[in-house]
Amino acid sequence: MNNLLYTVLVFSLSILLNNSLADTGPASKYVITITKMELCTGYPDSGEYDVTCNGSVTVGEGSLTLDIASVDPGTEIATFSNTNGLPIGTTYTHAKLTLTKDLIIKGYAQDDTDCWCRTESDSTFNSEYGRFGSLQAGICEADEATALANAEDQTMYSTYSGTVVYCKTPACTSSSNTGNISHSIEQDGLDQSLYGLALDNGSSSSATSMFIIYKLSSPYKVGITAPKINISFGTRSAVSSNEWDENNDKCLIYPYYPRADINITD
């Protein structure tokens, strides 16, 4: 009988806007698609974007779509893989996920006292810059209760690192400002043991996948029993916003880091 690998899968997405931390808020929906999962025997950590997985072994490959905001912390979800064949005696220290950059998110984040930026189902990307080159518009609400009540499912795309367009309206058809976006968990000053060590989002519109490295909560040495992977997570700060036009209540809204704690047990 196959021993399945069980996980609560979570990942971290980051957008660093104008080299400053944007404000964050909760996501009540955060839909991702995972295409590959690897375990690593080591991580060289040669830079803030290094996602090298030493001693890589693939424990899941295909397509798994799930809403990480709908699963209780600590819950185990059977994945699209099993751990049969892991070499006994090998110690794993890190995990690497490959994910598509297409997301569905529902939530809001306060950027200013009079702008609670919430997701909007009509919000889309700029046709010239494409879906991976656009920071999409949200809708400013006057208070948290209204933002919570009016938040809608929004299809979002994690941008590449480089020059992207800032959408002035949900339709993103008017002339808009552009700016340079980088993706660095380290620069954001978060606890990398919980939010990820590095994220590679590519540097062009042709990059449709992203890669992220996590440190396991403790090293795991393979025994005779196929292991389970538990990832407790939280999406309380998984949405980010930036009110770029205070006079006209215009805001950008985009994915931020869910928190993850990865533990492997027999």
pLDDT at 113: 76
Q: Are strands 27-40 and 250-255 parallel, antiparallel or unpaired?
A: unpaired
- Which range (161-170, 199-208, 224-233) has the least confidence? 224-233
3-state class percentages of the chain: helix first, strand second, coil last, to nearest 5:
5, 50, 45
Q: 132 in helix, strand or coil? A: helix
Across the chain, what does the average pLDDT equal?
83
DSSP state letter for 187: T
Beta pairing, strands 162-166 & 134-135: parallel
State the CB neighbour count (10 A cutoff) for residue 141. Answer: 22
Closest by alpha carbon to 16, among 238, 259, 135, 183?
A: 183
Q: Please, what's the b/e burial string for 211-225 (b: 16 or more CB within 10 A of its CB; e: otherwise)?
A: bbbbbbbeebebeee
**DSSP 8-state code for residue 133:** G
For residue 265, pLDDT over 70 is answered with yes
Q: Give the separation between CA 258 and CA 237, rounded to whole angstroms.
A: 6
Summarize the confidence of residues 127-146 as an average pLDDT: 93
Looking at the chain, the whole-number percentage of residues with pLDDT higher than 90 is 45
- pTM for this structure? 0.85
Q: Are 11 and 231 in contact (CB under 8 A)?
A: no
Q: What is the mean pLDDT of residues 77-82?
A: 61
Q: Which residue has the higher pLDDT, 14 or 161?
A: 161
Span of 92-96, 128-132, 217-221, 246-250 with lowest mean pLDDT: 246-250
Looking at residue 79, its pLDDT comes to: 66
**pLDDT on residue 6:** 34
Q: Which residue has the higher pLDDT, 128 or 41?
A: 41
Q: What is the mean pLDDT of the segment spanning 118-122?
A: 97
Distances (CA, A) of 225 to 18, 55, 76, 92, 123: 48, 20, 17, 15, 48
Q: Is 9 a residue whose pLDDT tops 80?
A: no
Answer whether 225's CB lies under 8 Å from 9's CB: no
What DSSP designation does 54 have? B
